[in-house]
Amino acid sequence: MKAKHIVSAALVAGVALTASLVHAGEMIYRPINPSFGGDPLVGNYLLGKAQAQDDNTDPNAPDFGGFSETDLFLQDLRAGLVEDAITDAVKGEPGRTSVIDSSNLKIRIRSLGGG
């Protein structure tokens, strides 16, 4: 019985001590979403979370699953060659010609001056 009183007294003392440390304050609404006035730096985080939860698929989206790593590498290589040829012709002096030659197509790019 004595132990029961000691536990009760300790519990009352603990509640009283905890209650004295707790104080109420003003509640302030701080929006998280930047669309509603929240921190704009949180926008990318929220977009990432939304996209991670999105399980819908676009029926018109291209399917890149059919391309192998080699196909993707060749596409990047061709795009780089085309970009280099265009840059070479445009940034050169007027009349300069750059040629892109493939098995099916031959493209000549001639600089007319002025970019």
Question: Which tens digit of pLDDT belongs to each residue from 3-32?
Answer: 776 767 767 766 666 655 666 788 888 888
Is residue 77 one of the residues assigned to a domain? yes
**pLDDT tens digits, one per residue of 56-74:** 888 888 777 777 888 888 8
To the nearest whole percent, how much of the chain has pLDDT over 90? 2
Is-contact 95 82, C-beta < 8 A? Answer: no
Number of domains in the chain: 1
Is residue 105 one of the residues assigned to a domain? yes
- Tell me phi and psi for residue 103, to 5 degrees: -65, -30
* pLDDT class of 53 with cuts at 50, 70, 90: very high
Is residue 76 one of the residues assigned to a domain? yes
Residues 80-96, mean pLDDT to the nearest whole number: 76
Is residue 26 one of the residues assigned to a domain? no
Is residue 37 one of the residues assigned to a domain? no
Is residue 2 one of the residues assigned to a domain? no
Dihedral, CA atoms, 6, 10, 12, 15, nearest 10 degrees?
-170
Is residue 16 one of the residues assigned to a domain? no
Range of the domain at 105: 68-115
Is residue 56 one of the residues assigned to a domain? no
- This prediction's pTM: 0.34
